[in-house]
Amino acid sequence: MQILDTRITPRTAGMGTYLVEFLGEGGQAIRVTLHDNRSDFDPDGLIVKAKAVMVQVANVPAEGESTSQRHMGGVPKTWQF
């Protein structure tokens, strides 16, 4: 997925929960909900955290795939971050 736009939306007023959306072609979207207790709003920091979550999820073996298969092959070339 090629990321065309990134949006950050507060999810709960005053609670420090944000929705970070990565939007792609054809309506594709990846949404990551983050909790950030800091009082200052840091959009760049939230984007970095959301990307880190996506990398962690991408490295979880798929159903039926062993951990060794994932480490040998890495992230499929068709995935773009």
pLDDT tens sequence across 22-73: 999 999 999 999 987 777 778 999 999 999 999 888 887 777 666 555 554 5
pLDDT score for 30: 94
**Secondary structure (DSSP) of the chain:** --EEEEEEEEEETTTTEEEEEEEEGGG-EEEEEEE---SS--HHHHHHHHHHHHHHHHTSPPTT--HHHHHHH-S-TT---
pTM value?
0.69
Residue 10 lies in a domain: yes
Q: Which domain holds residue 22?
A: 1-53
- Identify whether 39 is part of a domain: yes
In tens, the pLDDT along 11-26 reads: 876 678 899 999 999 9
Q: Is residue 17 in a domain?
A: yes
Tally of domains within the chain: 1
